[in-house]
Structure 1
Amino acid sequence: MGALDFAFLNWSVISSFVAKGFIFSVQLTIIAMLGGIAWGTALALMRLSGKPWLVQPAAAYVNLMRSVPLVMVILWFFLLIPLLIGRSIGAELSAIITFTLFEAAYYSEIMRAGIQSVSRGQVYAGYAVGMTYAQCMKLVVLPQAFRNMLPVLLTQTIILFQDTSLVYAIGAYDLLKGFEVAGKNFNRPVETYLVAAVLYFVICFSLSMLVRKLQKKIAIIR
């Protein structure tokens, strides 16, 4: 292969390949973030409940997910679930479910730290005015925990966006796949992969700067 030649690439054609993959990557990130935070919060509450029948399954789930590479979980789910249910669920749906379940383990630890950062005095005050455990968590603890952990939650979401490139392992059409297809069509894989790297960097770095500004603003509010 000769020297790099970016001028050879037709950017309007490349954008047509990339746009579809970019949309799916964003959709996957948003759905997995919302689902992961919801399930992760439930796991965090289970681990903090003090009841062994809730603590142990939640701890086992979190530790298992955090100990296995994401790409292996993606492959296991994509290959094994069809064998169990007797039909394929498709690469895109498989990726959405896998990412949601996997990221929940990481969001769970973030939420658990956020919940523990709230003063116990506020919890006792909630109990003193007649609140139940659920009411205290919903009305007093969780709103503060979300605010305290918002920058960390968003940082984990940026990592989640980067990890969406792993869906190539099951053939899902994400942002990186779009660049791969474009590179094959132009017979310029090196150039398109370099452009993909630059785009990932610009997106993630820009989002990181926004998270940093948000973190400073939250610190001022405190």
Structure 2
Amino acid sequence: MDFTIIHDNLGYMLWGTWPDGPLGGAALTLAISLMAGVASAVLGTVLGVALAMSRGVAAGLLAAVLGFFRAIPVIMLIFWTYFLLPMVFGVEIPEITTVVCALALIASAYLAHAVKAGIAAIPAGQWQAGLSLGLTRWQTLLTIVLPQALRMMVPSFINQWISLIKDTSLAYIVGVGELTFLATQVNNRSMVYPMEVFLFVALVYFVFCLSLDILANAANHRFSAQGRVQKRPWFGWNRQKKA
């Protein structure tokens, strides 16, 4: 294998034509992932809380809407947002915005169910403790239940964000110059190094996903350490007993 094509086009595939032109490549992939990840976390948490607290027809309707977004392919929703959003708002919307909206909508639909499951996993005694202190049901949720539930949701959030990073490769269908799009351009110009080009693309995605996984594990260990009850050393208790 000859990786000189990677060396010759490294800057182009990492950040496009920036700073002389628009940002692209791996840098744009990372930017789209961050924007869609933050949006999906906020929207997914709100929808998950609403799903956990609602009852009756409202709960069924919300579950049906979330099920719809979970069922449709990502590529189809990207097409819908790309053509539908400009028609709804009557203005031209950048392609990157439509991709971020599509990815955030689908990811938030999955995260909403993770949030609901996390809230349901909190023992009923936590709710009763909050209500016995005079807090309302919503105050108990926001101050007691949700902070505990969020710690249990971390693995689900990370799994969804890793999938989101990989789904950014579908942005090429609407002309967004992210990593896959620029790598395809490089490959089409040479036509003889497809293995080298797309091995590099796979490596970049692997580094992104692995970095996120490492950060998530570090955060998870920190949260676990903060929530762990500190036990008194046995040797100290034994000395007091002998005294």
TM-score by length of 2: 0.80
- Aligned CA RMSD, in angstroms, stands at 2.2
Kindly indicate whether structure 1 or structure 2 has the higher relative contact order, using CA contacts under 8 Å at least 6 residues apart. Answer: 1
17 and 107 in structure 1: CA distance in 2 versus 1, 3 angstrom threshold:
same
Residue in structure 1 matched with residue 141 of structure 2 by the alignment:
137
Greater shift after overlay, 202-211 or 82-91?
202-211
Q: CA–CA distance in 2 between the matches of 1:143 and 1:216?
A: 16
User: What secondary structure, in the 3-state scheme, does the structure 2 residue paired with 1:145 have?
Assistant: helix
* Runs of at least 5 residues in structure 1 that lack an aligned partner in the other structure: none
Q: CA–CA distance in 1 between the matches of 2:180 and 2:135?
A: 49
Q: CA–CA distance in 1 between the matches of 2:192 and 2:132?
A: 68
Residue in structure 1 matched with residue 199 of structure 2 by the alignment:
194
180 and 92 in structure 1: CA distance in 2 versus 1, 3 angstrom threshold:
same
123 and 188 in structure 1: CA distance in 2 versus 1, 3 angstrom threshold:
farther
113 and 13 in structure 1: CA distance in 2 versus 1, 3 angstrom threshold:
same
Please point out which of 15, 18, 30 is paired with 2:14: 18
1:196 deviation in Å?
0.7
Runs (4+) off by over 6 Å: none
Is the contact made by 1:36 and 1:103 (CA closer than 8 Å) also made in structure 2?
Answer: yes
10 and 42 in structure 1: CA distance in 2 versus 1, 3 angstrom threshold:
closer
Please point out which of 3, 6, 19 is paired with 1:6: 3
Residue in structure 2 matched with residue 71 of structure 1 by the alignment:
75
User: What secondary structure, in the 3-state scheme, does the structure 2 residue paired with 1:130 have?
Assistant: coil
Counting only pairs closer than 5 Å after superposition, residues 155-170 of structure 1 correspond to structure 2 as 155-170=159-174
12 and 138 in structure 1: CA distance in 2 versus 1, 3 angstrom threshold:
farther
Is the contact made by 2:169 and 2:178 (CA closer than 8 Å) also made in structure 1?
Answer: yes
Is the contact made by 2:95 and 2:175 (CA closer than 8 Å) also made in structure 1?
Answer: yes
Q: Residue type matched to 1:181 in 2?
A: Q
Q: CA–CA distance in 2 between the matches of 1:119 and 1:188?
A: 60
1:139 deviation in Å?
0.7
Please point out which of 120, 123, 136 is paired with 1:119: 123
Q: CA–CA distance in 2 between the matches of 1:165 and 1:27?
A: 13
The yes-or-no answer on 1:34 pairing with 2:38 is: yes
Please point out which of 199, 203, 209 is paired with 2:208: 203
1:69-97 deviation per Cα after TM superposition (whole angstroms, max 9, x unaligned): 11111111112222333343121011111
1:153-196 deviation per Cα after TM superposition (whole angstroms, max 9, x unaligned): 12211111111111112111112122222323444450212211
Q: Residue type matched to 1:114 in 2?
A: G
Is the contact made by 2:6 and 2:197 (CA closer than 8 Å) also made in structure 1?
Answer: no
Is the contact made by 1:17 and 1:181 (CA closer than 8 Å) also made in structure 2?
Answer: no
85 and 188 in structure 1: CA distance in 2 versus 1, 3 angstrom threshold:
farther
User: What secondary structure, in the 3-state scheme, does the structure 1 residue paired with 2:9 have?
Assistant: helix
1:207 deviation in Å?
3.3
188 and 51 in structure 1: CA distance in 2 versus 1, 3 angstrom threshold:
same
1:131 deviation in Å?
0.9
* Runs of at least 5 residues in structure 2 that lack an aligned partner in the other structure: 16-23, 229-243
Residue in structure 1 matched with residue 239 of structure 2 by the alignment:
none
Greater shift after overlay, 175-184 or 67-76?
175-184
TM-score by length of 1: 0.87
User: What secondary structure, in the 3-state scheme, does the structure 1 residue paired with 2:46 have?
Assistant: helix
The percentage of counterpart residues that share the same residue type is: 28
1:212 deviation in Å?
4.4
Is the contact made by 1:62 and 1:105 (CA closer than 8 Å) also made in structure 2?
Answer: yes
Is the contact made by 2:82 and 2:95 (CA closer than 8 Å) also made in structure 1?
Answer: yes
Q: CA–CA distance in 1 between the matches of 2:45 and 2:207?
A: 30
Alignment coverage as a number of residue pairs: 218
